[in-house]
Structure 1
């Protein structure tokens, strides 16, 4: 964990990343157990794993005749809302290192496959494509692409990325916020592709946030439209995790960024898509509990399902990318100005959130 100087050099460009040489893993991957599917059944019901002659497994449930009542393992989550007092002891931490496992190959450009409600007057929605569509579908289990995954739960389906040993970053508007202060269940699968995650499923037990976002998004909600999910098991130990760096508006206009998500229009949220030369066009500040969040306007191609997906850049020869924001919203009416752009959420408040999560939920 380090504190940055006043100004940080811009990240490397997409052209440089394309020329960067791949690095092989230096160790064999360790063995382990990965949970493919978890659920809870009422008392009195039972299950059996059945294997047929084709080698196909089925989970067979025996019930008392009134159907199977399957529940997620953590149906209701604890929510911790951050405030000024909770993060004062952290100081002004504006960057965090990532972790590339020695058993994961490094590739700075993924293995690309192909190209791929009524709102209030001042509210935005997730999200929009500005033709021609610049997204590509990819399948890649090298680092860091393995740390991006599909998020689903009581609040819907979207995207997320691992940002710590037990920590997954996603959008606040993806969460099913309860009136009593809790939230509905959330599941994450890193490297998810066509119904399968190579490292199985992980379940959130706690949600850390600054501000809850629901429905149409105001600028304040977009600037803080991110949460950290504390997972039930150390997902980052298996797949690695990204670093973080607070965004500097001096980087506006540069094609430095990569964004990934699980779009509904291209893949039915079943395969990830990639934008490789993303640009942040504008920024504006919002404040909650003494923390500064950013609305990061952009014209990169985003649709529903990208919500919660990271935007990150690479600095020098570092072996991990650094997240600067999370996909949040689109304009109600798309257009070429800041009133018609798509929007990431980010800022120093995102750094404080990830720092707090890593420090207090190891």
Structure 2
């Protein structure tokens, strides 16, 4: 963890067969001990660390007796309520008719708050950057496993053979609060997407990712649990994510969310209908709560909103989510 926090990595293609030779020089006139590092970049340019394999398919078979428990490293504090920042919310835009414009997915007043938090488990949620140019949210669910929404994966770039995803835990203004170099690119993906033929259900909109860096070792991770429709109407749930084009520099946080309906499909997926405040960028963020002391469990990931004017949001959950995480933990250990 100390090593990751104290370095900043870049990836470049070098000309020839040998390594590039960087030059280091002091920045003249700058206050403090400020230096510039120049790295020769070959004709192929600088690159992100590319992904290796990405499987887009139907839900897998259930895994029996899987360990889906959370993990907290001893060095991290456990907070049941995170520390929030004062609001920097901008005044809403007023159109000519005098009404108020609000993001389409926000239902009523926006109840989200901004976090500045590295304690467990809040510091296990992070921002995802992709080769497609869009951004999403995700959470650590294993020593090397990231959970997000299926549509966050840049599937078109995967098909073209040139894709990457970068995960920054506890992201604030583009960098991790854990330290400048605490991040990881994704090496492998196994996931689904509502665009998959025969899979229009938002309950399928999930993906598990293998990280090059086992960030779950120093930072810990969430557990998962299938959502029980008997919990409908209970205001237990917490959602975190990284809404774009708004005032948030850190993660958004909203508690007291109720799931008011859960539609199951034939493939162990579950569409969880809720009225939490969601805008683009929140996709893939976890819906979770504490099931006892030190036991945070994710039951779904933010997926989409209703397209028929009902003003309701959907999160993807169900036993299939646990199947994915169990498979990833077994096949992508630390």
Match in the other structure for 1:5: none
1:165 maps onto 2:137 in alignment: no
Match in the other structure for 2:329: 358
1:97 maps onto 2:74 in alignment: no
Aligned 8 A contact 2:82 2:117 in 1: yes
Q: How far off its partner does 1:131 sit?
A: 1.9
Equivalents in 2 of 1:329, 1:92: separation in Å?
31
1:106 maps onto 2:78 in alignment: yes
1:277 pairs, out of 256, 262, 275, with: 256
CA RMSD of aligned residues (A): 2.7
1:132 pairs, out of 109, 118, 121, with: 109
Q: How far off its partner does 1:92 sit?
A: 6.7
Q: How far off its partner does 1:181 sit?
A: 8.6
Closer, same or farther: CA 180–266 of 1 in aligned 2, 3 Å: closer
Closer, same or farther: CA 51–145 of 1 in aligned 2, 3 Å: farther
2:11 is paired with a residue of what secondary structure? coil
Match in the other structure for 1:59: 37
2:262 is paired with a residue of what secondary structure? strand
TM-score, length of structure 2 as denominator length? 0.83
Aligned 8 A contact 2:54 2:189 in 1: yes
Equivalents in 2 of 1:42, 1:127: separation in Å?
46
1:73 pairs, out of 33, 37, 49, with: 49
Alignment: residue pair count = 307
Which moved further from structure 2: 275-284 or 218-227?
Answer: 218-227
Closer, same or farther: CA 361–181 of 1 in aligned 2, 3 Å: farther
Equivalents in 1 of 2:189, 2:104: separation in Å?
24
Match in the other structure for 2:278: 302
Matches within 5 A, 1:20-35: 31-34=2-5
1:341 maps onto 2:329 in alignment: no
Where do 5+ consecutive residues of structure 1 fail to align?
1-29, 117-125
Aligned 8 A contact 2:237 2:255 in 1: yes
1:256 maps onto 2:227 in alignment: no
2:47 is paired with a residue of what secondary structure? coil
Aligned 8 A contact 1:324 1:347 in 2: yes
Aligned 8 A contact 2:135 2:152 in 1: yes
Match in the other structure for 2:92: none
1:228 maps onto 2:208 in alignment: yes
